[in-house]
Structure 1
């Protein structure tokens, strides 16, 4: 359908014709893009102009003006219409009647409408009082009526904006910062708000307003394309959901990707992140320039007075490094700098900026990107040292690195970076994209450089530890190969390359072993010692483990995990020093354990005690012991179903299990029966711990069958919040035959949910195996639990029996 045909149908058929033409335009099969948005805006313009002409008739001194997004012609399928009916103060009844003739047809079609009726003076006054109104009027576009009145509005609003810019731009910057604090960073969110999050469409509009002030301007490179991409995604989102939404929810991402002709949801998110990164960086540069201009305006009168009313002040330039100087709060290139002859200059300038805590001038970065020669392979020593200095500079590294990325310098220095750039991580534990996580890890690692002998290897390993996530398969295995290549390319010798590769290959080894394996088992410690190899590598791996976890997100690290990792490192260090790991011996019961066992044997029922476990003061940086959880001791006569009963009662009381150990308690001679001792560490999911008496009462009922634990947990499971359309991956159960000589290690990976440990315990009980200990780890919505199981006689399971138990457990969890 041509534009002429569309206008004719709209004029002939009124609102019904417009609705039909609009629907035909949106379902014609054309991809989201500027041409469809322009066509939709043009169609809407013609319809509203027709309504205006029919309602205005002989009325003069009135015009219909599109403002905001509609004024820019950015109509998405479910966008609202921002309209201003501007008049010269004539007949108020006639103007009100015209407004009704305009607004009601829009409402009748179910289109959201943001409307106002004002004189020119009222519009200017309202804009002066409300910054958001003024921003909308900056995009005013004439639709119908008195063109001179609309032109007068545009002229007056722009003049007011430019005159008031020194006062209003700081307010606009505050609004942008507040919005970013509420909605987060678009370039890192798994469910981003395309409009409100930092780097989104609102920020792009703010940059247009800054440019209109003539006070400063945003970097133009890629900005229009980034804005267009976000608008395209919003168009597809509106069509996919049928709603006026700007939030790109997980359940909609595959459909939106398909609507845009993209491979998958990850490709979609990566494009969104790239666009948001361009807009966010442009915002940083622009607001910095606004601040510089406003400061210079404030200082200039004083300087003129000091200079006696004459002369022109010259900005001071302070040297920072060879070819690099500071000028007016930014790091710029010296006049004598030659990027075309100095291949180390980009790294030297970046390191100097990060060390000084100053931003890199975008003009300097652009100049280096255009002229800098590639570094030779291997890099000269200075280049490697400057990279290490940049990575070790702490928090300022992030802003400097982003400036290098904005002009493509990072991928020019490290080509493998391209595969992880803007790559999303579909794991709620991670708060950053892969590339930002790597930089955050280096920032965290910079705080640990005083506790390792080779801080350069620690920082480079931090930068590369997840570099394999850009490749298929296990990212640790792929990352080891890439890290070897990168470390050699940047000039490390063969021994150092091997250390960096080992750190990348095993960067998850310590935390996974500490939280999922029995540290009392000699096999556990030996396996880690063999993988690490040396004391110095262990030292580096310990620091990298903590930096990685801290850079992942708040759910990835805790005092409990830190305590377990430190305990593992201590044990491995002893083995690497030549000491053999002690063989586990049956622990002598403590006085309290023996008391509980005797009481249980005497009463024939469970007896329990709760006791907080403080962290040793020597390990606490602040000197204040921090609880590592609560120790729960349960003594109960040996009988079937003990493990699922205890696990179920704890789940009912919203207690999270961290570790669990179950063994028979040796009782004094003359005491009949067998008593099981369960030594567990737990933490309250919400609030304070329940009373021990309540736990005991429910445990008694669970053991005698009068408490329907499964039913109670099913009720909670039904109320457990789930995302619409999001299906978690199926559980996976794996046998690790070499992990222990004393038991068979069965690892369960599943979606975390109330009562998961209860269901696992019930399945293991049904399989007829004995649980020696359990090591529970939860990362976000994923549980990774390891169970050390034996035959009833206390020996490891034969291979086929272990595989059979694993299959049965997986089947039970799937059900």
Structure 2
């Protein structure tokens, strides 16, 4: 509701001019955060108390109680009012009349109201049946009426909760887990739900409930500040949108950031992620302690009965100064972190190898260790490698070290990437978590390389440059040199790590955007890598990085292209110099299609699925699909590329790679004086929804596209209009450039643009108008971004002169601009 609307409806709303005072409070910039929430709760308390007093209800035996978020005094601008009218059952008619006197003014103001009218017995019974009701009552706060009745409710509800905790806490954890499954991890989402996602406000409330049970308590360090931070963001979100929403949508983030006085939307997300990390870690520790307490309650009475007393917890040694106790890794009694700077890494590595959590008390003690010397001793470096190579358990151990700031002490550059968002939808993690996920993936590949230690450390460092301006690979190379020297690698190993970080995108970018048959492509990679050993490490890092990025970043198709490139580069590094490529002889099928196209005078195509055999070490099963091979033969004519690209877009086929060549038919196949030129297109495509279109339908539409009777652009525009995209931040403008020296046989034009149906059709149309021939194209789609490379030549098959290439690139960029 707008301010004007609230003011209009506020006229004559009762005691204190509540609506007008509320409006002034919400628009008063000098009172943000906890102060405004407390003031809003106090203002609402006074108004409701006045309504209660003016309701002429029973003098005793009835009270008005705030519960849930309102009970905690956490009123955001658009929060519901959670109210309970509690009574002793002596005068039901009077209580009903009082309820009407309370609820209707709230509704008249357009405020959301969650209300109930119950006796104490009814409230307890409902709480026993509904966990959410019970959680709300734990925060019951007296507003008006019989305060003894409210006090009795609080006493009874807390006693019930503590008595029922062994049964209800597992139920509460199940609710938290189900909510996390539905809404995801708050600290990694680009459009997070501040309340429902894991690490959000619901989880913070659940931790309060656990503490109220007296069974366990959450780590207090930073938890109150994290909760306050999330509430502040929700307040700003309510004011920015005018709605009771908890989802921090992309289009609102800049306004919310401005409302909080933050630099930009990235700073806002980072603040949200920091808070969510604190809440998530506190939840992990708390629920682990709840499980331990509940297990001990069921087991220890039997042990005491058997042994005649309380047994001491067993302590099993794991490493020097590190032991396991009761399912956690703790420090030995004789351990002295302040005298042993290597102890934090030793404890972390031992915990990860054992697959056990680090005790928060142990981590707190480890934070007192003195800093490691520079360079690190060999033991510290080896322990870091052990920690990184322990696989999935590394994640939880790393998070425990993060909770006490130990990671930034070990690696000061970590502070710049910690909780840093990545706005490319391909990435499912923040920068810091992506680095750890890459190390986890790399741990599974260590048997494929000669230097596992270099692979694991490169995985940890490869995106560290994202905390600095400019190309993150260039900045990362500088960071990698500094970190490698600091942790004790020799100059030769430091140089390898720097190369791996600088070129961690080289293989996948080259494999998907360059012609692998062009010797210039292979030579450029070999020169950057320098040695077989580095190539081996880079191939493993490439796979680990892609797998840790998200499902869209790696596939059998990408893997096969990278493997092909690595094989070619390895051969060159071994001294096998590739010959200049000669035009490949057409296959029997290609020749057959070309002859048929020439004789019929129209397009002929073949469509079939391609698969990749499973590796030898994999169990038997169906081969993994690589996509679909589409062969098209067309009598040489203009506008073939845009026509084919447009038809494929209409049929929801995604193009991965494409080769185009002109084939001259043998004399026996020609007809009269015709030169027998046929354009042959060999494309790899993928079905957007998993099912292939019929080849006959593809051919029919292609015939119509080539003769001009099919309006491809119009059909694609209609489809876009029927399925409008979600509103979000404006896409960056397209960028088109020429890649110098990428090929000796063609000019390589690179296109980076927002992916959209028909993008290749628009590119093909623009290149056709520019009068160039497309020899091949290499298409790569990463989330919402298309990164495509086109090998183009003059009509006679030569690379374009530099000036002409620049003109073509500028014209293509202009053609791709929206509007």
Do both share a fold (TM > 0.5)? yes
Is the CA contact (8 Å cut-off) linking 2:58 and 2:95 kept in structure 1? Answer: no
Distance 1:106 1:140, change over 3 A: same
Write the distance in 2 (CA, Å) between the matches of 1:568 and 1:609: 27
Which of residues 784, 787, 812 is equivalent to 2:787? Answer: 784
Match of 2:739 among 721, 726, 736: 736
Which of 486, 491, 495 is matched with 2:488 structurally? 491
Residue 666 of structure 1 deviates from its aligned partner by 2.3
How far off is 1:620 after superposition? 8.0
Is residue 679 of structure 1 aligned with residue 682 of structure 2? Answer: yes
Q: Show the 5 A alignment for 1:602-621.
A: 602-618=599-615, 621=618
* Partner residue, 2:662: 664
Which residue of structure 2 lines up, in the alignment, with residue 173 of structure 1? 173
Separation of aligned partners in 1, 2:748 and 2:200: 48
- For the residues of structure 2 that align with 1:22 and 1:560, how far apart are their CA atoms? 59
Corresponding residue of 1:325: 323
The correspondence for 2:396, drawn from 394, 399, 423, is 399
Give 1:618 deviation, angstroms: 4.6
2:235 aligned residue: 235
- Mark the CA change 1:12 to 1:687 in structure 2 (over 3 Å): closer, same or farther: closer
- 4+ runs deviating over 4 angstroms: 10-13, 617-620
2:338 matched to 1:335? Answer: no
Aligned equivalents of 1:644 and 1:437: distance in 2?
Answer: 38
| Alignment match, 2:718 | 715
Q: CA deviation at 1:382?
A: 0.2
Distance 1:41 1:717 in 2: 47
Paired residues for 1:83-102 under 5 Å = 83-102=83-102
Residues 236 and 259, structure 1, Cα contact 8 Å, conserved in 2: yes
What is the 5 A alignment of 1:492-507? 492-507=489-504
CA displacement at 1:483 relative to structure 2: 0.4
CA displacement at 1:11 relative to structure 2: 13
> How far is the alpha carbon of 1:690 from its aligned partner?
0.8
Change (3 A) 1:299 1:663: same
Query: What is the SS of the residue equivalent to 1:123?
Result: helix
C-alpha separation between the residues in 1 aligned to 2:193 and 2:394? Answer: 27
Q: Distance in 1 between matches of 2:728 and 2:589?
A: 50
**Residue in structure 1 matched with residue 729 of structure 2 by the alignment:** 726
Given candidates 764, 767, 770, the residue that maps to 1:764 is 767
Equivalent of residue 806 in structure 2, options 781, 803, 807: 803
Match of 1:651 among 649, 662, 678: 649
Residue 496 of structure 1 deviates from its aligned partner by 0.2
Gap change, CA 1:15 and 1:739, over 3 Å in 2: farther
Q: Which secondary structure does the structure 2 equivalent of 1:55 belong to?
A: coil
Return the offset for 1:720. Answer: 4.2
Determine if contact 1:128/1:134 at 8 Å carries over to the other structure: yes
Pairwise CA RMSD? 1.2
Aligned length: 803
- One of 594, 599, 604 as aligned partner of 2:591: 594
Change (3 A) 1:262 1:31: farther
Give CA-to-partner distance per residue, 1:340-378, whole Å, 9 cap, x none. 111000000000000000000000000110x20100000
Decide whether aligned partners of structure 1 residues 16 and 683 sit closer, same or farther in structure 2, where only a CA change above 3 A counts.
farther
Match of 1:745 among 748, 751, 755: 748
Question: Partners in 2 of 1:136 and 1:805 — Cα distance?
Answer: 66
Q: How does 1:131-530 map to 2 (within 5 A)?
A: 131-307=131-307, 310-369=308-367, 371-530=368-527
Is contact 1:59-1:94 (8 Å) kept?
A: no
Is 1:116 aligned to 2:116, yes or no?
yes
Cα deviation for residue 613 of structure 1 reads: 1.7
User: Structure 1 residue 626: deviation in Å?
Assistant: 1.7
- State whether structure 2 residue 771 is matched by structure 1 residue 773: no
Distance in 1 separating the partners of 2:610 and 2:421: 38
1:13, 1:402 → 2: CA distance?
51
Provide the residue aligned with 2:5 in structure 1: none
Question: Which ranges of structure 2 fall in alignment gaps of 5 or more residues?
Answer: 1-9
Inter-partner Cα distance in structure 2 for 1:345 and 1:561 = 42
Q: Secondary structure at the match of 2:748?
A: strand
- The 3-state SS of whatever aligns with 2:778 is strand
CA distance in 2, matches of 1:388, 1:45: 58
Residues 720 and 576 from structure 1, CA distance in 2 versus in 1: closer, same or farther, beyond 3 angstroms? farther
1:585 is the counterpart of 2:582: yes
Given that 2:653 and 2:685 are in contact with CA atoms closer than 8 Å, whether structure 1 keeps it comes out as: yes
Shift of 1:58: 4.5
Equivalent pair of 2:192/2:247 in contact (CA under 8 Å): yes
Secondary structure of the corresponding residue to residue 415 of structure 1: coil
Structure 2 length as normaliser, TM-score? 0.97
Q: How is 1:39-118 mapped onto 2 (pairs within 5 angstroms)?
A: 39-118=39-118
Query: How much has 1:60 moved relative to structure 2?
Result: 2.5
Partners of 2:723 and 2:496 lie apart in 1 by 45
Q: Structure 1 residue 615: deviation in Å?
A: 1.2
Give secondary structure in 1 for the equivalent of 2:605. Answer: strand
The Cα of 1:722 is off from its aligned counterpart by: 2.4
Deviation at 1:188, TM superposition (A): 0.5
Distance between the aligned counterparts of 2:595 and 2:653, measured in 1? Answer: 26
Distance 1:239 1:273, change over 3 A: same
Task: Work out the CA distance in 1 between the residues paired with 2:763 and 2:579.
Answer: 31
